[in-house]
């Protein structure tokens, strides 16, 4: 063995060996017919992985652990087309060339993005290999694979036929900068300081942050219990505006907070979600005054053509000239919705879109967690999951982009009738024989990825692995993705005729890890320039050290900051294991001894068989400690406690095994008697058990040591997990 462990000469060679021998494919071992399956949360195919993706190590630990238990184990890889995000990234590349998406036909731009994504995807998959992830690459899937798209189409048609998908003109979260609508979950909320304008509306004064939308006001509202304004309720009042005199109705609605401003608010149903709902309750018209390009339209009169911010200043200036501003609070702090990608304010705008009716789907998804058909780890995330589903709104699944799965819905140019298909084109209207035109929108990416467990297993012929054993992912997409997979998974299986809820759910357990932030505790992002490529750290510290550092010292579900001292400590731990192996190799060669591979049961027998003269007390103690650590790590991994598993293994290997037992064994090994040979048997056998316990966490160095010291017919990756029985 070399004096120093060199990960660069080991990792690529070992991974290639594993892959060529087909170890990542599911197979039964040791007579164990149980199955274990897990689906890789598909990373976005538009860019290389960042360091947060290295948290997939948790899934690899589970996969390797269950493979060593002999289960028929599947870890299925894939990639997400990431519709809006990918188009956003690609449009930036076009801008660098002085081009835009409008310079290309739809089909041409789609193919250009596809080529870009496929070229990037290979590099992303190589990153996963470098980290040692034992994925079944023969079954890899992409959200834009034709067979996946067929399933997405079929689900959409089912939902439409069942009345759970509908098309309606409603208020949506629209980014006028990126030119697309979003679901509620894709809107970020930031605290900002904006002026709060107190405006005179006839005899009343109301407060608003958005005077530029006043051209779309269709009512004024007060709380029905507010005694100050009882006499105005139900009446029309005359008001002075920047465009002349007008009349407006005063309504009573519980949504109004008497403590906000003056207790009077303007109702603009076309530009505010609360106002939209109030408008529905009171049958108020929607008057849109802001276009989808973010500019005021003709209803704003002389302010037409101004962007929202420009219009706000111009309207306020005009109102001040006319004496219509009572006063202005310059220090009003409130939360506003912004686009999660470009951070520009979201504009609520009325659009005709496809919506999924969520309440019936959410009800069943809630029951699965309440009834513990699905268990969430850590348990404190149960509350977040249930809160989201309890207050869920209908889901806008239309996106005004070209990159993604185009919605299979067709509208008649003659009679306006819509027809939904399973992907087959419609040329003539079934009602009037008019020409049919396909909807230009694509599905929200989460609509397709929400069907991922079923779709990937169905298309790879692996529905025997459905439901999967566990879904492991970051807690930040519990609502975005996990909840939607549960809802759609149950629905699809019901449509397939599956009655048992335990077979409808897409996974039995949900395991949530925290975020990996930069060394200063800030979230990694390209805009901040603090994104770290995991391969840079793999080159510097080795894949095993990176993997172990990610699970060591951080409880499940908690965020962590990238720690270079911890990475360095785990690199030293890797070398410590290597030096322990070198000590054993030295003893083996010098004394011409054969390394033993005794099981825990055989070590017990050895301990009972020989008296004190034939066996050192330190050997007996090591046998007991090896049995104890095996039981402990097995229990912890079954309970998804990776942090304590790593800590216990580190302490046992470094302190119990290296610092104490190896030092004690040197005394015995110096003697050429039965006791020294028993010491060598205990030393090599307990070290082999330690390698097996460490293998899911540190697969490369443990495999290399195993091959050099023990060199059996099989590799460590498919060896049997240490058993106490």
pLDDT one-digit tens code per residue, 426-459: 999 989 999 999 999 999 999 999 999 999 999 9
Q: What is the pLDDT of residues 271-288, one digit of tens each?
A: 999 999 999 999 999 999
pLDDT band at 87 (very low <50, low <70, confident <90, very high): very high
Cα angle vertex 167, ends 166, 173, to 5°?
A: 110
Q: In this structure, are residues 287 and 276 in contact, taking their beta carbons and an 8 Å threshold?
A: no
> Above 70 in pLDDT, residue 248?
yes
Q: What is the pLDDT of residues 627-639, one digit of tens each?
A: 999 999 999 999 9
Q: How many CB atoms lie within 10 A of CB 656?
A: 20
Backbone dihedral angles phi then psi of residue 514, each to the nearest 5 degrees: -90, 180
Q: In this structure, are residues 419 and 429 in contact, taking their beta carbons and an 8 Å threshold?
A: yes
Q: Which residue has the higher pLDDT, 112 or 712?
A: 112
User: How confident is the model over 515-542, as a mean pLDDT?
Assistant: 87
Please spell the DSSP secondary structure of 384-420, one letter per residue: HHHHHHHTPPPEE-EES-SSS-B--EEEETTT--EEE
> Above 90 in pLDDT, residue 569?
yes
Q: Which residue has the higher pLDDT, 185 or 127?
A: 127
Residues of the chain above pLDDT 90, percent: 87
Q: What is the pLDDT of residues 308-323, one digit of tens each?
A: 999 999 999 999 999 9
pLDDT band at 606 (very low <50, low <70, confident <90, very high): confident
Counting every residue, how long is the chain? 725
Instruction: Please report the pLDDT score of residue 262 as a whole number.
Output: 96
> Above 90 in pLDDT, residue 81?
yes
pLDDT band at 500 (very low <50, low <70, confident <90, very high): very high
d(CA 703, CA 709): 10
Instruction: Please report the pLDDT score of residue 613 as a whole number.
Output: 67
Q: Which domains does the chain have, with CATH numbers?
A: 32-164+357-406+441-513 (3.40.50.620), 180-347 (3.90.740.10), 562-718 (1.10.730.10)
d(CA 591, CA 585): 10
pLDDT band at 68 (very low <50, low <70, confident <90, very high): very high
pLDDT band at 227 (very low <50, low <70, confident <90, very high): very high
Q: Please name the residues in contact with 71: beta carbons below 8 A apart, sequence gap of 6 or more.
A: 29, 32, 34, 35, 36
> Above 70 in pLDDT, residue 692?
yes
Q: What is the pLDDT of residues 544-556, one digit of tens each?
A: 999 999 999 999 9
User: How confident is the model over 228-249, as a mean pLDDT?
Assistant: 93
Q: Which helix (H) or strand (E) holds 473?
A: strand 468-474
pLDDT band at 221 (very low <50, low <70, confident <90, very high): very high
How is residue 182 annotated by DSSP?
A: E
d(CA 646, CA 32): 26
Query: Residue 377 forms beta bridges with which residues?
Result: 511
Instruction: Please report the pLDDT score of residue 350 as a whole number.
Output: 96
Q: Which helix (H) or strand (E) holds 172?
A: strand 165-175
Cα angle vertex 414, ends 411, 418, to 5°?
A: 25
How much is the mean pLDDT over the chain? Answer: 94
Instruction: Please report the pLDDT score of residue 624 as a whole number.
Output: 95
Instruction: Please report the pLDDT score of residue 676 as a whole number.
Output: 84
User: How confident is the model over 113-140, as a mean pLDDT?
Assistant: 95
> Above 90 in pLDDT, residue 126?
yes
pLDDT band at 607 (very low <50, low <70, confident <90, very high): confident
Q: Which residue has the higher pLDDT, 23 or 184?
A: 23
User: How confident is the model over 123-128, as a mean pLDDT?
Assistant: 94
SS3 334: strand
pLDDT band at 527 (very low <50, low <70, confident <90, very high): low
Residue whose pair of structure tokens reads 């004496």 in the numeric block? 323
Strand ranges inside 494-542, DSSP E: 507-513, 516-517
Question: In the numeric block, which tokens belong to residue 492?
Answer: 């699809």
> Above 80 in pLDDT, residue 525?
no
Q: How many CB atoms lie within 10 A of CB 12?
A: 14
Q: What is the pLDDT of residues 292-306, one digit of tens each?
A: 999 999 999 999 999
SS3 466: coil
Pick the closest to residue 703 from 18, 2, 4 (CA basis): 18
What global pTM score does this model have?
0.93
Q: CA 39 from chain center: how many Å?
A: 12
Strands 442-443 and 409-412: unpaired
User: How confident is the model over 146-164, as a mean pLDDT?
Assistant: 98
């Amino acid at each position: 063995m070399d004096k120093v462990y060199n990960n660069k000469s080991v990792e690529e060679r070992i991974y290639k060996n594993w892959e060529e021998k087909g170890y990542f494919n599911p197979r039964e071992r040791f007579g164990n017919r149980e199955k274990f399956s897990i689906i890789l949360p598909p990373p976005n195919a538009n860019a290389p992985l960042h360091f947060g993706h290295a948290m997939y190590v948790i899934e690899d630990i589970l996969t390797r652990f269950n493979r060593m238990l002999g289960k028929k184990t599947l870890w299925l890889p894939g990639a997400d087309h990431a519709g809006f995000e990918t188009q956003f990234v690609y449009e930036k590349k076009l801008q660098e060339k002085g081009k835009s998406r409008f310079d290309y036909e739809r089909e041409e731009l789609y193919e250009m993005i596809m080529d870009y994504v496929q070229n990037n995807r290979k590099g992303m998959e190589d990153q996963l290999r470098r980290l040692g992830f034992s994925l079944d690459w023969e079954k890899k899937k992409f959200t834009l694979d034709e067979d996946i798209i067929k399933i997405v189409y079929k689900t959409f048609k089912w939902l439409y036929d069942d009345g759970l998908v509908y098309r309606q003109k409603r208020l949506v979260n629209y980014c006028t900068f990126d030119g697309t609508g979003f679901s509620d979950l894709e809107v970020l909320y930031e605290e900002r300081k904006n002026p709060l304008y107190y405006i005179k509306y006839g005899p009343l004064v109301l407060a608003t942050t958005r005077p530029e939308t006043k051209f779309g006001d269709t009512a004024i509202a007060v709380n029905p219990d507010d005694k100050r304004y009882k006499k105005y309720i139900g009446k029309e009042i005359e008001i002075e505006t920047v465009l002349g005199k007008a009349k407006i109705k005063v309504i009573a609605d519980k949504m109004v907070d008497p403590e906000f401003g003056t207790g009077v608010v303007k109702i603009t149903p076309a530009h505010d979600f609360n106002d939209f709902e109030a408008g529905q309750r009171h049958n108020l018209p929607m008057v849109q005054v802001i276009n989808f390009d973010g500019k005021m339209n003709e209803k704003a009169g002389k302010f037409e053509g101004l962007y929202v911010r420009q219009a706000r200043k111009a309207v306020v200036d005009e109102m001040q000239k006319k004496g219509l501003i009572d006063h202005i609070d310059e220090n009003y702090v409130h939360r506003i919705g912004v686009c999660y990608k470009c951070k520009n304010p979201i504009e609520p705008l009325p659009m005709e879109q496809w919506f999924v009716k969520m309440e019936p789907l959410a009800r069943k998804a809630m029951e699965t967690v309440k009834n513990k058909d699905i268990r969430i780890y850590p348990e404190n995330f149960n509350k977040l999951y249930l809160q989201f589903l309890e207050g869920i709104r209908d889901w806008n699944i239309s996106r005004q982009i070209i990159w993604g799965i185009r919605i299979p819905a067709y509208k008649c140019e003659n009679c306006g009738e819509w027809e939904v298909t399973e992907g087959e084109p419609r040329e003539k209207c079934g009602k009037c024989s008019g020409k049919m035109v396909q909807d230009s929108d694509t599905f929200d990416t989460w609509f397709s990825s929400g069907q991922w467990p079923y779709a990937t297993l169905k298309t790879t012929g692996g529905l025997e692995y459905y439901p999967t054993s566990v879904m492991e992912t970051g807690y930040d997409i519990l609502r975005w993705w996990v909840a939607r997979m549960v809802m759609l998974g149950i629905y699809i299986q019901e449509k397939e005729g599956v009655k048992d809820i335990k077979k409808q759910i897409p996974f039995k357990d949900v395991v949530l890890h925290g975020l990996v932030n930069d060394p200063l505790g800030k979230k990694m992002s390209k805009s901040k320039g603090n994104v770290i490529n995991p391969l840079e750290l793999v080159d510097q510290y080795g894949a095993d050290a990176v993997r172990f550092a990610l699970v060591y010292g951080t409880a499940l579900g908690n965020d962590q900051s990238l720690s270079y001292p911890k990475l360095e400590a785990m690199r030293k731990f890797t070398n410590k294991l290597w030096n322990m192996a070198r000590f054993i190799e030295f003893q083996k060669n010098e004394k011409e001894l054969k390394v033993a591979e005794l099981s825990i049961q055989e070590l017990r027998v050895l301990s009972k068989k020989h008296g004190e003269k034939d066996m050192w007390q330190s050997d007996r103690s090591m046998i007991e400690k090896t049995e104890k650590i095996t039981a402990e790590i097995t229990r912890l991994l079954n309970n998804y406690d990776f942090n304590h598993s790593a800590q216990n293994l580190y302490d046992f290997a470094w302190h119990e095994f290296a610092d104490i037992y190896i030092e004690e064994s040197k005394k015995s090994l110096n003697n050429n008697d039965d006791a020294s040979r028993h010491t060598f048997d205990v030393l090599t056998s307990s070290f082999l058990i330690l390698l097996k316990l460490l293998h899911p966490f540190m697969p490369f160095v443990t495999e290399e040591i195993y091959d050099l010291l023990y060199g059996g017919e099989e590799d460590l990756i498919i060896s049997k997990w240490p058993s106490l029985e």
